[in-house]
Amino acid sequence: MSSIEQLHTVGQSIWIDNITRDLLDDGTIARYITHFGVSGLTSNPSIFEKAVANSKAYDKALVSADERGLSTEDAFFSVAIDDLRRAADLFAPIHEATDGIDGWVSLEVSPLLADNAQDTIDAAISLFARAERKNLYIKIPGTSAGIRAIEAVIAAGVPVNVTLLFSTEQYLEAAKAYYRGIERRIHEGLDPRVQSVASLFISRWDVAVNDRVPADLHNQLGICVGRSTYAAFRDLLASSWVAGLVAKGAPVQRLLFASTGMKDPSARDTLYVEALAAEDTVNTMPDNTLLAFADHGEVSVGLEALQREAAERLAQIAEHIDLPELAERLLDEGKRSFISSWELLLNSVSTKVDTSS
């Protein structure tokens, strides 16, 4: 059995954490679907910033958007939506075959809105309508304002990928907001089948602590947080509240493991993928991690079997690190990093327009 088949047997979907117009044009995304079983795609401001800055594929479209009088931000969204429409169409057969569980692509609202709930709600509804693809997730960060927005956006019928979650506690806040949104739809007699995923970031934990914990705990914190959060995910699904909503037609909000590319060159490059294989989850991988896992990845035991070990290691790490404080810091740093990437992205768009006009 291939490594890809092993993940599918466990019950985990493989998504690619990348999109560029060049990857669409040269058929790479299509090959990922047919050769590696990739069943979805995620994007973020950093990915799009690199895509626009490092390719000429967007130049004409950006100049055209400028000539139509679009703002720099709207010019970006026009080309991003074009890309994601194409990607959504590639994944549409998977979306139909899985009854909406897989086959998704994701577009993030402006990171500048991370602390403004109402503007996030308005932007999410608008972007989803503009894209005109039912298999498009709108990404909303798990900030305090974002959590408030998630409930309203789900209640409005817009699928959501909750991003920038780091801890089990942050995950639970996001998941509860999702199910509250579904509950509102049920109470209003609306279709409860509005899908969502909750994206837990893994590698940034270890980048933050590897130089502060003993060597035998290097590259273990992200895995332990992932396993702990998966246990909370399972407990929430088994609760009478969520089970009751599911019985009325609500989808299960799957847990998505993000930031699963290994940053430590001395560690196994497929470590996070192998350690976080679990039923009813998604792993969204950068290209190099996908290719590495397809080449030599192995899944020897499901994540569920390792919960006790994860709890013990978390306790060991907690002797050196204030984990709740670090979780909040990682969320704040992630928010600021995406804002920085957003500003670079808009600068790249302006530069493309100026040099191509």
What SS3 class is residue 54? coil
The candidate with the shortest Cα–Cα distance to 101, out of 177, 19, 20, 11, is 11
The candidate with the shortest Cα–Cα distance to 17, out of 283, 235, 271, 324, is 283
Q: Is the pLDDT of residue 303 over 70?
A: no
What is the predicted pLDDT for the residue at 355?
A: 83
What is the predicted pLDDT for the residue at 310?
A: 82
**CB of 259 within 8 A of CB of 204?**
yes
Report how far residue 178's alpha carbon sits from residue 107's, in angstroms, rounded to the nearest whole number: 18
At residue 225, what is the residue type?
Answer: V
Report how far residue 104's alpha carbon sits from residue 196's, in angstroms, rounded to the nearest whole number: 10
Domain boundaries along the sequence of the chain:
3-356
What SS3 class is residue 198? strand
Q: Is the pLDDT of residue 357 over 90?
A: no
Q: Is the pLDDT of residue 305 over 70?
A: no
Q: Distance from CA of residue 198 to its chain's centroid? A: 7
Work out the mean pLDDT of the chain and round it to a whole number: 95
What is the predicted pLDDT for the residue at 354?
A: 82
Sheet of strand 254-258, all strands in order from the earlier edge strand to the far edge? 38-41, 12-16, 281-285, 254-258, 196-201, 160-165, 136-141, 105-108
What letter does residue 252 receive in the DSSP assignment?
P
Please state whether beta strands 196-201 and 281-285 pair in parallel, antiparallel, or not at all (unpaired). unpaired
Phi, psi of 195 (to 5 degrees): -80, 160
**CB of 310 within 8 A of CB of 85?**
no
3-state helix, strand, coil in the chain (%, to 5): 60, 10, 25
Which structure tokens are listed for 149? 């927005």
Give per-residue pLDDT as tens, 18-44: 999 999 999 999 999 999 999 999 999
Cite the active site residues.
139
Mean pLDDT, residues 224-235: 95
How many C-beta neighbours within 10 Å does residue 54 have?
A: 11
Lowest average pLDDT, out of 116-130, 227-241, 297-311, goes to: 297-311
The candidate with the shortest Cα–Cα distance to 234, out of 180, 308, 175, 274, is 175
Place of tokens 């932007």: 123
Report how far residue 34's alpha carbon sits from residue 12's, in angstroms, rounded to the nearest whole number: 17
Which structure tokens are listed for 77? 């969204």
Give per-residue pLDDT as tens, 164-219: 999 999 999 999 999 999 999 999 999 999 999 999 999 999 999 999 999 999 99
Report how far residue 344's alpha carbon sits from residue 336's, in angstroms, rounded to the nearest whole number: 12
**CB of 80 within 8 A of CB of 130?**
no
Report how far residue 172's alpha carbon sits from residue 167's, in angstroms, rounded to the nearest whole number: 9
Percent of the chain with pLDDT over 90: 93
Give per-residue pLDDT as tens, 100-145: 999 999 999 999 999 999 999 999 999 999 999 999 999 999 999 9
Instruction: Report DSSP letters for 315-328, one per residue.
Output: HHHHTT--HHHHHH
How many C-beta neighbours within 10 Å does residue 348 have?
A: 21
Give per-residue pLDDT as tens, 252-264: 999 999 999 999 9
Percent of the chain with pLDDT over 70: 98
What is the predicted pLDDT for the residue at 281?
A: 97
Q: Is the pLDDT of residue 307 over 70?
A: no
What letter does residue 304 receive in the DSSP assignment?
G
How many C-beta neighbours within 10 Å does residue 265 have?
A: 6
**CB of 283 within 8 A of CB of 39?**
no
How many C-beta neighbours within 10 Å does residue 233 have?
A: 23
Query: Residue 356 — pLDDT band, cuts 50, 70, 90?
Result: confident
The candidate with the shortest Cα–Cα distance to 213, out of 139, 92, 315, is 315
At residue 321, what is the residue type?
Answer: I
The candidate with the shortest Cα–Cα distance to 77, out of 113, 121, 123, is 123
CATH of domain 3-356: 3.20.20.70
Query: Residue 306 — pLDDT band, cuts 50, 70, 90?
Result: low
Give per-residue pLDDT as tens, 54-85: 999 999 999 999 999 999 999 999 999 999 99
